[in-house]
Amino acid sequence: MTQTPKLAWKGVTKRFGDRAVLDGLDLSVAPGRSLVIIGGSGQGKSVTIKTALGLMRPEGGQIELDGENIVGLPESKRRKLFSRIGVLFQGAALFDSLSIWENVAFRLLNADGVPRKQARERAIDALEQVRLDPAVADRFPSELSGGMQKRAGLARAVVAQPEILFFDEPTTGLDPITAAAINQLISDQVRRLGSTAVSITHDLASAQTIGDEIAMLHGGKIVWRGPAADLHVTDNPYVRQFVEGRPDGPIAHAV
Ligand SMILES: Nc1ncnc2c1ncn2[C@@H]1O[C@H](COP(=O)(O)OP(=O)(O)OP(=O)(O)O)[C@@H](O)[C@H]1O
């Protein structure tokens, strides 16, 4: 018997005006696996994640978590579902007016009703997991470098030990060395928690560090999927053009 995927998009369609950004998207990720979605700008990578988070509602298809459709869940059920999910948004998305520990513990304090003292301890543990000094806990986001903010965002994503982690362009705006450190931390945390991970990135080095598997989204569908190591050997024309950064090829003709 085949294993039920942790998360699956089944025939998902999402339109904006006349354009179907997702056009019958079929994609799934098995429990404990890390899937990275690559693809050109505007191809619907963020929309794919937003539909799974319930931030955008698809017009067609199903999105299944552990085999159960989660499209159109009422708010109370959606909130419950969120307690099983951690997200690192592009730009870390920390609240400027909250200290770092309050940012990291936001969900514990505001959704899970964890007392402040205990929430602070858990936040500091999570900061240590991402190699941030406990002294950072009482500082504010504006006092941290971009790389440290990403680490704090990662600590917030993992603090409640989620079953599923989403990473939206986790290394955008970082220098290559800091980006490599963040990729390694992401990979370590996903493995430590045994979580299922879905990431989107433009950065191929990032895709190969954090992904067991890579899927390429183009024209609202997955045009290639394979083990991360195959990215550089597949002869799929979409992947070849993307990896080699060539302006000519099926991607240029399709847009
Ligand atoms: N709320 C919205 N209203 C209208 N159009 C939208 C909305 N959100 C996304 N789109 C459109 O959907 C398409 C896909 O957007 P999306 O952000 O998912 O692309 P992406 O693959 O993540 O691109 P990038 O790599 O540039 O971030 C784009 O053409 C975008 O303009």
pLDDT tens figures, 119-173: 999 999 999 998 999 999 999 999 998 889 999 999 999 999 999 999 999 888 8
Whether residue 153 sits in one domain with residue 94: yes
Split at pLDDT 50, 70, 90, the class of 215 is: very high
Which residues 6+ apart lie within 8 Å of 17 measured at CB? none
Q: Which one is predicted more confidently, 64 or 92?
A: 64
Residue 25 has pLDDT above 60, yes or no: yes
Q: Which of 161, 187, 220 is the last residue of a domain?
A: 161
Q: Which residue has the least CA distance to atom 24 on ligand 1?
A: 41
Three state DSSP letters for 216-236: EEECCEEEEEEEHHHHHCCCC
Whether residue 156 sits in one domain with residue 111: yes
- Residues within 6 Å of ligand 1 by CB: 16, 21, 39, 41-47, 202
Give residue 201 CA to ligand 1 midpoint distance, Å.
14
Percent of the chain with pLDDT over 70: 97
User: Which residue out of 21, 36, 53, 221 has the highest number of ligand 1 atoms within 8 Å of its CB and is therefore the one to mutate?
Assistant: 21
Whether residue 200 sits in one domain with residue 75: yes
Give residue 202 CA to ligand 1 midpoint distance, Å.
14
Are the C-beta atoms of residues 46 and 40 closer than 8 Å to each other?
no
Tell me the DSSP string of 185-206.
Answer: HHHHHHHHHT-EEEEE-S-HHH
Burial (CB < 10 A; 0-12, 13-18, 19+), residue 23, is middle
Sign of CA dihedral 191, 192, 198, 202: negative
Structure-token pair, residue 247 = 């302006």
- pLDDT value at position 2? 74
- Please give the residue range of the domain that contains residue 97: 85-161
Does residue 19 form part of some domain? yes
Does residue 16 form part of some domain? yes
Tell me: ipTM over 0.85: yes
Q: Which of 161, 185, 206 is the last residue of a domain?
A: 161
What is the tally of structural domains in the chain? 2
CATH classification at residue 35: 3.40.50.300
